[in-house]
Structure 1
Amino acid sequence: MKKFLIISLATFFMFLAGCSTSNESSTNTSTEAKSNTSTETKSKATEEPAKPTGPISIVWYPNESGSDLAEARDALAEIIKGATGLEVEHRTTTDYNIAIETIANGNADLAFMGAVGYIEANKKNSAVVPIVVPSGQSGTLDDALYNAWIGVKRENADLYKSGSEFTIENIQGKRFSFVSTSSASGFVVPASTITGYFNQKDEWKNLSSEDLLEGGSNKLFSEVAYGNSHQGTLVNLLLDRSDVAAFCDACIDNYIELIEGEENVRGAVYRVRDDADEPLNGFPGEEFTIISVTPVLNAPFVANTNNLSAEMIEKIIVAFTSDEVANNPSVFVPGDSEFKGLFSKRADERFVRVEDSWFNPLRELQ
């Protein structure tokens, strides 16, 4: 399995060369109320922070902020409470940047965020560090990957074929929806996939990710929209606000089901489940086809070391990486369960420790 990640990432970069609601404790409000809080970059505290006596706060991306995932968030909060003895306060968001600023500015102690969001938060404040990530099926970092998709409505899928094979060739001139520029699987990775492919063509040989931020004349896309969550980007596609959209498999897994083809393979067809929650509850039975699949490093839980002591962070890590949590069906959800969780249990999935350097392959794409 140690060869798996090397092979996966090698294939990933070769592909690039060849061709990541209701607010339980409103971050929007609290961020505005704390507008006097400095947004300047903090350096790591030179002294160990005092042990907090109040609740530990954890901020969530929009993808994990929906009411349908409240029990899943609470299951993780119970682990943190058990490790630290402190209550846990959730801060849900409707915007990636709010979540990033909240952890970077110290207005939250912990966060679950995409790899690119972590990289951005760490740039703003080096006190923000990764602590654990969900592993792959091997139970290690070797296959701790998920997938960035580029999808189209099923009825239009044949427009994106060259012969019998799906290709991104014909996305030029179309209306495209990304998630957020801070999303690994919703912008950074698909943007690199797109520029890597079109850079081979004389007319687009100098195309950069920045050129994909907006549409218009002399741009690759006629229009560019942002869904602000992976679910929101799929909504853009299904409402015909875009012709093509980028989103990830893990982020919308609770809302969809495979109906044709092989999972995470170009040409696979998915449909929105009849019991899908908001914001996809209005689209039962709608179908879409995947025309591009690229692996992405798993999202980390991160901590602000200006807020939490090394001792407390270690307690949280030990609790998260325990066998008890690995076998908790409310955290790593078995395939036959109806519980709506954040992580799936197919084999030996669990949380594993992670260091900052593990995210360097994504840094190199920015």
Structure 2
Amino acid sequence: MKKSFLPLVMLIVISVFLGACSNTKKSASSEEITMVWYPNESGNDLKAARDEIGKVIEEATGKKVTHKLTTDYAVAIETIANGNAQMAFMGAQGYIEAKNKSEDIEPVVVPSGASGTLEDAVYHSWLAVRAEDAEKHKENGEFTIDKIVDSKFSFVSNSSTSGFKVPSNSIVTHFSKQDQWKDLTPEDLMEGGKFFKEVLYGDSHQGSAVNLLSKRADVAAFCDTCVGNYVEVADGEENTAGSTYKVRDDAAEPFNTLTGEEFTLISVTPVLNAPFVANASTLSEEDFKKIQESLASDEVANNETIFVPEDSEQAGLFKKTDKERFVVTDDAWFDPIRELAK
């Protein structure tokens, strides 16, 4: 009796557990829309920008928007993929990973470039060193990544487009031309011991930059848009190898203890802009279309809390330098990032 009873009890417990998990998935008819955010956009300094996006969605659908903030890329990706959130703002790589987990994940809009189109809808992946070490990364007067071997290196997250996928691909492409590194793979860069002496992860672009400036890392990967609210150009031109940036005197956390610290870019690579995405199994087609239409509207394009004027001191998610706005795209637009995995 005891032997036959135990498996039955275990079966009941497992069934109850699985039932509880499935019940957490939101339905497409829910009167609430949950928006999940990456760690990069979860800081207090971006609350006004998040709330304004939420307000646009609420007005479009008549439903309450709840913001789910995260400290881990994987949590955000899993949350949208399993239906525990109906929308997310995430990088191209995170979108692809979520799409691989669930075919229901669809892009809603992406921020355009200055032209107001997809033609220049890019931001930039940086490899940076502390300004005091910049001269060590020059060869024949030009900046190079040749000297990053055996360094302490900081990525953002394995699921980050500009904080891992793009820089790791660039590093492999560059070094695999050398006989010593002809078999190098992105996986070899994930931990210290083979190519890098040590590998750290910042868990956000801000965190990766802090790893560099606090001297935990010698070189770091992070992107321009995620640290743009905290730094300013000290020497050179924006998004150019050799340019030096300085942490602003009024920088918010986590840079508030690093004001005045400087870093220099040794590599700059364009990256496809990050999309707002939806889970079509938990967001109705009607709401999807309403949200898409509203986000892509002229009204939102001219909303200075969402697209912050270039000369404004206000922290925001997106800058308005010319005709920036949200534009509609499809899954195929992200294929160049998929190609990096092949």
Matched-pair contact (CA < 8 Å) for 2:28–2:281: no
C-alpha root-mean-square deviation of aligned residues, in Å?
1.4
Matches within 5 A, 1:343-358: 343-358=318-333
- 1:208 maps to a residue whose letter is T
- 1:51 maps to a residue whose letter is S
2:339 match: 364
Matches within 5 A, 1:207-286: 207-216=184-193, 219-286=194-261
1:9 match: none
1:163 counterpart (140, 144, 153): 140
d(CA) in 2 for partners of 1:301, 1:310: 15
2:37 match: 60
d(CA) in 2 for partners of 1:308, 1:193: 37
1:151 match: 128
d(CA) in 2 for partners of 1:340, 1:263: 18
SS at match of 1:259: strand
- 1:57 maps to a residue whose letter is T
d(CA) in 2 for partners of 1:155, 1:71: 36
- 1:322 maps to a residue whose letter is S
The structure whose Rg is larger is 2
Matched-pair contact (CA < 8 Å) for 2:86–2:282: yes
SS at match of 2:254: coil
Matches within 5 A, 1:8-157: 37=21, 50-53=28-31, 55-157=32-134
TM-score, normalised relative to structure 1:
0.86
1:193 match: 170
What does the per-residue CA deviation read over 1:267-294, in whole Å, with 9 as the maximum and x for residues that have no partner? 0000011111111111000000000000
SS at match of 1:143: coil
- 2:226 maps to a residue whose letter is C
List gaps (5 residues or longer) in structure 2.
1-16
Matched-pair contact (CA < 8 Å) for 2:74–2:159: yes
Report the CA distance shift for 1:36/1:246 in structure 2 as closer, same or farther (over 3 A): farther
1:34 to partner: Cα distance:
9.7
**Quick check: 1:172 aligned with 2:149?**
yes
What does the per-residue CA deviation read over 1:26-67, in whole Å, with 9 as the maximum and x for residues that have no partner? xxxxxxx999526xxx9xxxxxx64322x2100000000001
1:24 match: none
2:268 match: 293
SS at match of 1:141: coil
d(CA) in 2 for partners of 1:34, 1:63: 32
d(CA) in 1 for partners of 2:80, 2:140: 48
TM-score, normalised relative to structure 2:
0.92
d(CA) in 2 for partners of 1:34, 1:108: 18
